[in-house]
């Protein structure tokens, strides 16, 4: 039997960390990497994230059983257009994106029914430090998954097993609901960062103010991508984002009102009350994010369907299953 081939296209933070995570444990598969920048592919190979790099895109993914597309959403349409005719029939394509429905629509337009597409979004909290490629980047992280309508259930199960292999927790979501949530927790902060930066640089006092802009300003204006990448993401999810901006406008009006209020006699100022509530809520969220414990999803019980792991067994055996700890009787 031929050794299964996994191709990772895009070897930045996500792609390299996926390769490193897969290779933490021995597995009977080959990982081939491709990146537009040869030096980035070389760095991934040197770090041990891939078995080999392939500069030619077609040779990178030909005969691959699974293709990881760790590229910006803005590049996905053109990439799938180039790849569609050369992919192995029955291959699973997993695209890591921060908005899912547009990615699924692109895949539906570009790929044949013989291919299986799943949109994936690893939620990387990164509390307390910067993110760099590492094998445990996805450990205990929520990894959202949304398959296209024509994705075979066995391919979907393979995607879930793959996520578990990385140490993450697969969470199947509705793509449109996911994108509505992302508009509030990921894209709205980007809009706020852009607005704050533009307000600051447009101010007559920016020449002096930039000397005094420190860590808090840096964190508040962190955009997390190039202008082209952010533009594509915002545009494809603009209906959800416009709704969130309207919510924010109303909320800012409320904070303005609180700031303008005089302190009531013998009572806590409403502004202080509001600040206490948000500080407490933020602290609680940070604890959950650091521990990666959410306790939101009930445990799934019941017997596994007969064909549930068929594709996994066909291509990868049990290598994508997270190892279990031995019981006392097995020690």
- What is the topology classification, in CATH, of domain 177-260? 6-phosphogluconate dehydrogenase C-terminal fold (1.10.3660)
In this predicted model, what pLDDT tens digit does every residue of 57-74 receive, in sequence order?
999 999 999 999 999 999
Q: CA–CA separation, 125 vs 129, rounded Å? A: 10
321 has pLDDT over 60: no
270 has pLDDT over 50: yes
pLDDT of 316 reads 57
Class of CATH domain 5-173+307-321: alpha beta
247 has pLDDT over 80: yes
pLDDT of 306 reads 45
Question: Which SS3 state, helix, strand or coil, does residue 152 take?
Answer: coil
172 has pLDDT over 60: yes
Banded model confidence at residue 320, pLDDT cuts 50, 70, 90:
low
Of 55-59, 125-129, 172-176, 320-324, give the lowest mean pLDDT range.
320-324
Banded model confidence at residue 109, pLDDT cuts 50, 70, 90:
very high
The whole-chain average pLDDT of the chain stands at 88
Cα-based distances in Å from 77 to 11, 16, 65, 82: 18, 22, 21, 9
- CA 305, distance to chain mean position in Å, is 29
Q: CA–CA separation, 3 vs 220, rounded Å? A: 47
Cα-based distances in Å from 102 to 107, 176, 232, 235, 316: 9, 9, 10, 10, 30
Are 121 and 178 in contact by the 8 Å Cβ rule? The answer is: yes
- Mean of the pLDDT values across residues 245-274? 94
pLDDT of 327 reads 52
In this predicted model, what pLDDT tens digit does every residue of 190-206 receive, in sequence order?
999 999 999 999 999 99
Banded model confidence at residue 53, pLDDT cuts 50, 70, 90:
very high
pLDDT of 131 reads 81
299 has pLDDT over 70: no
307 has pLDDT over 50: no
326 has pLDDT over 90: no
pLDDT of 288 reads 85
Are 142 and 173 in contact by the 8 Å Cβ rule? The answer is: no
- Mean of the pLDDT values across residues 162-179? 96
pLDDT of 191 reads 96
Which is more confidently placed, 315 or 185? 185
pLDDT of 187 reads 96
- Mean of the pLDDT values across residues 170-184? 96
Cα-based distances in Å from 97 to 62, 73, 89, 238: 23, 6, 23, 16
Helix axes 238-260, 188-202, angle to 10 degrees: 60
Domain boundaries, the chain: 5-173+307-321, 177-260
CA angle, residues 48, 50, 55, in degrees to nearest 5 = 125
Question: Which SS3 state, helix, strand or coil, does residue 28 take?
Answer: coil
């Amino acid at each position: 039997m031929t050794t299964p081939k996994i191709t990772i296209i895009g070897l930045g933070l996500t792609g390299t960390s996926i390769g490193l995570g897969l290779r933490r444990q021995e597995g009977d598969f080959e990982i081939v990497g491709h990146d537009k920048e040869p030096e980035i592919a070389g760095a991934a190979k040197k770090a041990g994230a891939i078995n080999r790099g392939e500069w030619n895109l077609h040779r990178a993914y030909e005969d691959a059983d699974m293709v990881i597309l760790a590229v910006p959403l803005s590049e996905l349409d053109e990439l799938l257009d180039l790849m569609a005719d050369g992919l192995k029939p029955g291959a699973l394509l997993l695209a890591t994106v921060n908005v899912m429905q547009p990615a699924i629509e692109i895949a539906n337009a570009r790929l044949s029914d013989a291919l299986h597409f799943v949109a994936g979004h690893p939620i990387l909290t990164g509390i307390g430090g910067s993110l760099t490629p590492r094998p445990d980047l996805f450990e205990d992280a929520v990894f959202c998954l949304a398959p296209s309508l024509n994705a075979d259930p066995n391919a979907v199960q393979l995607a879930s097993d793959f996520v578990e292999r990385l140490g993450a927790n697969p969470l199947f979501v509705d793509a449109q609901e996911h994108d509505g949530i992302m508009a509030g927790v990921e894209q709205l902060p980007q809009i706020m960062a852009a607005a704050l930066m533009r307000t600051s640089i447009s101010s007559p006092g920016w020449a002096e103010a930039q000397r005094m802009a420190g860590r808090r300003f840096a964190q508040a204006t962190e955009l997390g991508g190039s202008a082209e990448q952010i533009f594509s993401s915002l545009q494809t999810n603009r209906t959800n984002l416009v709704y969130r901006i309207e919510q924010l406008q109303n909320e800012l009006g409320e904070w303005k009102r609180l700031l303008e209020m005089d302190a009531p006699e013998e009572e806590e100022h409403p502004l202080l009350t509001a600040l206490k509530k948000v500080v407490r809520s933020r602290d609680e969220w940070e604890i959950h994010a650091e521990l990666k414990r959410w306790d939101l999803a009930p445990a799934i019980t019941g017997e596994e369907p007969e064909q549930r792991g068929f594709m996994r067994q066909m291509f990868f055996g049990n290598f994508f299953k997270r190892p279990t700890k031995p019981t006392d009787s097995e020690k």
